[in-house]
Amino acid sequence: MNDYSNIRVLVVDDEPGIRDSLSAFLDDYGFDAMGCGSTEEARDLMIENTFDVCVVDLRLPGLSGEDLILLASKRFPSQRYIIHTGSISYNLPQELRAIGMRPEHVFHKPVRVLSMLVKRIKELAENPAAQLPLPKLQQAE
């Protein structure tokens, strides 16, 4: 049994089956995982708790998952994010790239290789610089 209990993960998905099964998988894998079904719930949990990584669905009631990530990244700068989406044509927008997200932080439902999700969560939690914005190139004068 792996012990990643020092890594706190929040799963934000409005589909109870997906949210509960992913949270249970991460919990069984040894992470300290919690789930919620809306951006409002996620915001409240982020205020009350500290999370290392948030696994966020894009299509949520209220604010979108992208909006949640953008707002939360300002308020909780040490939190890192993984997108969990059912959209196979999703492309990471520039706003999320600007806060350090990369294509390898996007997982499509259903996640077929859960070990890759675990690997990304561990990388982001153990090396927060893995999702810091890339430095902007300075223009020559």
pLDDT tens for 58-103 read: 999 889 999 999 999 999 999 999 999 999 899 999 999 999 999 9
Of 101, 109, 59, nearest in space to 84 by CA: 109
* Residue, of 4 and 139, whose pLDDT is higher: 4
Half-sphere exposure (Cβ direction) of 57: Cα atoms closer than 13 Å: 23
Q: Report the distance separating Cα 27 and Cα 80, nearest Å.
A: 18
Question: Which residue ranges form the domains of the chain, and what is each CATH number?
Answer: 4-131 (3.40.50.2300)
Which residues lie below 8 Å from residue 67, measured CB to CB, with a gap of 6+? 39
List the single range of 4-8, 87-91, 124-128 with lowest mean pLDDT: 124-128
Q: Tell me what pLDDT residue 62 has.
A: 87
Q: Are strands 4-12 and 31-36 parallel, antiparallel or unpaired?
A: parallel
**Which strand (E) or helix (H) includes residue 113?**
none
Cα distance between residue 1 and residue 111, in whole Å: 21
User: 57-68: per-residue pLDDT in tens?
Assistant: 999 988 999 999
